Amino acid sequence: MKQLVIKIIVLSVIFLVSFSYLSGLNLNKNNYLLTELESANRPLIWVNDSNEYNKIQGYTQEMKFSSSHHPITLVNQNELLFLKDANNNSIRTIKYTVYDENDNRLDEGKALVEGEKIHIHLEYDLIEGRTYSLVIEVSTREDTFYYYTNIIKDVNHNIRNSTKVIMDFHNSTLYKDTSHVEAITEGAVLEGEEIDRLDLSFVDFNSTVNEITWHNISIKKMNEGLLELMDIIEDQLIFKLEYIALINGEDYYYITENYKVEVTEEDRIEEIIVIGQIIEKDYDLIDFSRSMRKVLTQDIVDTSNNKFHFGFTNVDEGLIIRGYNSDNNLWIKDQTQLLSYNRKTNEFSTVFNFDTFNSDFILDTVPKHQVEVWDTNEDGDIYYAVLGYMNAGPYEGKNGVLIKKYFSERYYNETVVFIPFEEAYENLIRDTLFIENVNEENEGFFVYKNQIYKVNIEEQTYEIVFEKDSLEKSNISISQDYRFITWEEEHVMDNNNIYIYDLIENELRVITSEQEERIEILGLIMNNIVIGYGKANLIFEENDDVIMPIHKVEIIDYKNEILKTYFPRDNTYVKDYSFGNNRVEFIIGELVNDEGEMYLQEVDKDFIVHTIRAVQQHPYNIVLSEKDAVLNEYVLEIPLNQDNSLFYIIAKEKRYIE
């Protein structure tokens, strides 16, 4: 009996412990907090070579260096000096590694740290003019950060003098020193009176002095930023400068300036005469441009005048506005910002921006990422992705694709999944294509290089569902219902196959031409593919273009079923084509051989009508408007809610309780 009681007690304890544990797991899964996006907290490193330049980005993952676009650090006598800001981190060790262009390790060791200074002495003797890769590994108590820069041994250029020329010009624009600007530009700048109105969104040496010096508006820099050396072309150095400014005490802008300086002609001549002697070179500023993006907050909404004001934003840098949910909602995005506006309730929210504005530290605002809207739903929610470098938050310092969902009813974001990539931001943007749809199964797709990724929103998982070498972003067409993607295998001169990948069935279908034929995608009408066929032996080149005389056109659906076939009359071919609403129009030509020179001579026009009429899209157009008597600004005119006061909120982040 006593043993039975003991067994019952033991089993009861095990049951209670197990129940408590499992209940705790369930409780943790369903308990969360809504918090602000965390500010950046990684250390910062930059170069100190008489003048400070090159803020070097810190990653918490190792990157493919050969694919990355990093600033260039010049080395004189195998000595490098950096400065650091620990940003409240406890740094334990700093090491370095040098690689050649083939990623072979050449040198490694420990850096000498003296206060905020980091000294690196390279044992490997660098070859002058050759580009190497330097990785600085910073270990803290919590993490390890990797800082990447290209290094070039160069005794010819002078960082102090080159950056001084740039910063003198930069400051003269801020302080409206028109005489200095005119002296630098040497008459290349147009006279202000020749232009009726001024546009500050993009400025270069073809702009007026008035535009370059900011007209009559006040400029206050909110952070200094650092010049970054982006390229060296013989006697020329190319720099970039990024900073935030407050304009007229009202609006914040992200500003990017690009500079090109060149060794003065006198110093170039002297270098030829005095061989082997280091010359204290001077530089001329030979090129300059400035563009800006407005920090998008509730200030852009002008309810009484039915307008959104985008100020001096350079709209060519990806400012997009779309309506959804029967046009009751709008989303607004540029490269790094995403916002949502509810036209019924007059509610405006910042959905995403790494820049939290609760710190003057410059790491929150690094623009090495891009926001892409994936899809929306009838509740006003937004599925979106952040591609590239993560400035802040739980994935700070990582590089990849962050998938998020914005819940409009409670104004918060939830992370769906983070997919790390070793490729740099520039390559990630270049090689990634989002299929802008989340289907009924709560699945979304995107293409990266030659792979198709599927993300399950509900389960917060991802997988690679298809891979093929010929699959490339630039070669892909997407059906309007997002059911399939299609692409060609080869260039038209060699192509016999067209692929259709069904995103619902996860199935690949192939259209194959006859061996003596070639095949190409002419375009899509709604959810059907228009395909052209031509004889391989008739393909010719004209003005560097490859011309395939088309003797047959087919319209097929995603199941590879032929819906319509078109043949031009005998001995003629489709020379050119264009798509209307529900028809394909053709220019018909005869093949002419003029003493070995082949061309198609137009003889007729024709068309075929498709049974499905395409839906017309009505995007919102941002137009130039008069800000004052002289300045222009960009605005969107749209009916807004006049009954409710504007409500503005910055979206919170959903964080589960561990």
Q: Provide mean pLDDT across the span 505-511.
A: 92
Residue 214 reports pLDDT greater than 80: yes
Distance separating alpha carbons of residues 407 and 394, to the nearest angstrom: 19
Distance separating alpha carbons of residues 474 and 317, to the nearest angstrom: 20
Assign 455 a pLDDT band (cuts: 50, 70, 90): very high
DSSP state letters, 399-431: EEEEEEEEETTTTEEEEEEEEE-SS-HHHHHHH
CB-based contact 399:424 (threshold 8 Å): yes
- Going from the C-alpha of 201 to that of each of 188, 247, 291, the distances in angstroms are 19, 13, 6
Instruction: Give the closest residue to 448 by CA, choosing from 470, 431, 465.
Output: 431
pLDDT at 19: 39
CB atoms inside a 10 Å sphere around CB 44: 21
Instruction: Give the closest residue to 342 by CA, choosing from 365, 323, 320, 366.
Output: 323
Residue 352 bridge partners (DSSP): 338
pLDDT at 315: 81
In the chain, pLDDT over 90 holds for what percent of residues? 57
Instruction: Give the closest residue to 577 by CA, choosing from 499, 516, 511, 524.
Output: 524
CB-based contact 466:506 (threshold 8 Å): yes
Task: State the span(s) of the chain assigned CATH 2.60.40.10.
Answer: 44-70+77-153
pLDDT in tens, 184-210: 876 444 444 445 568 889 999 988 888
Assign 26 a pLDDT band (cuts: 50, 70, 90): very low
Distance separating alpha carbons of residues 651 and 339, to the nearest angstrom: 9
Residue 624 bridge partners (DSSP): 634
Distance of CA 400 to the CA centre of its chain: 12
β-strands 647-650, 461-467: how paired? unpaired
Residue 398 reports pLDDT greater than 70: yes
pLDDT at 399: 93
Task: State the span(s) of the chain assigned CATH 3.10.450.
Answer: 159-294
Which amino acid, one-letter code, is at 357? Answer: F
pLDDT in tens, 629-651: 668 889 988 888 888 899 999 99
pLDDT at 65: 64
Instruction: Give the closest residue to 248 by CA, choosing from 223, 217, 292, 222.
Output: 217
Tell me 193's DSSP state. Answer: G
How many Cα atoms are found within 13 Å in the side-chain-facing hemisphere of 420? 11
DSSP state letters, 481-493: TSSEEEEESS-TT
- Going from the C-alpha of 407 to that of each of 379, 383, 455, 653, the distances in angstroms are 8, 9, 18, 10
Q: Provide mean pLDDT across the span 52-68.
A: 80
Distance separating alpha carbons of residues 108 and 123, to the nearest angstrom: 8
pLDDT at 190: 46
CATH fold of 44-70+77-153: Immunoglobulin-like (2.60.40)
Distance separating alpha carbons of residues 142 and 87, to the nearest angstrom: 13
Q: Global pTM?
A: 0.86
pLDDT at 229: 95
pLDDT at 347: 93
CATH fold of 159-294: Nuclear Transport Factor 2; Chain: A, (3.10.450)
List b or e across 88-120, with b for residues whose CB sees 16 or more CB atoms inside 10 angstroms. ebebeebebbbbeeeeeeebeeebeeeeeebeb
> Among 24-33, 93-102, 337-346, which stretch is predicted with the lowest mean pLDDT?
24-33
Rg (CA), the chain: 30
pLDDT at 394: 92
Q: Provide mean pLDDT across the span 325-336.
A: 88
CB-based contact 259:171 (threshold 8 Å): no
Q: At what angle do helices 159-174 and 178-185 cross, to 10 degrees?
A: 130
CB-based contact 150:71 (threshold 8 Å): yes
Q: Provide mean pLDDT across the span 599-615.
A: 81
Residue 322 bridge partners (DSSP): 331
Instruction: Give the closest residue to 373 by CA, choosing from 317, 444, 430.
Output: 444
Report which of residues 68 and 318 the model is more confident about.
318
Q: Provide mean pLDDT across the span 130-142.
A: 93
- Going from the C-alpha of 223 to that of each of 72, 361, 463, 482, 588, the distances in angstroms are 22, 8, 41, 43, 61
Q: Which residues contact 224 (CB under 8 A, 6 or more apart)?
A: 243
CB-based contact 28:656 (threshold 8 Å): yes
- Identify the burial level of 590 via C-beta atoms within 10 angstroms of its C-beta, where 0-12 means exposed, 13-18 middle and 19 or more buried: middle
What is the strand order of the sheet 443-448 is part of? 432-438, 443-448, 451-456, 461-467
Report which of residues 68 and 544 the model is more confident about.
544
Residue 580 reports pLDDT greater than 90: no
Distance separating alpha carbons of residues 621 and 308, to the nearest angstrom: 11
pLDDT at 168: 96
Residue 6 reports pLDDT greater than 70: no
3-state secondary structure of 518: strand
How many Cα atoms are found within 13 Å in the side-chain-facing hemisphere of 122? 25
pLDDT in tens, 334-393: 999 999 999 889 999 999 999 876 555 567 788 899 999 999 998 899 999 999 999 999
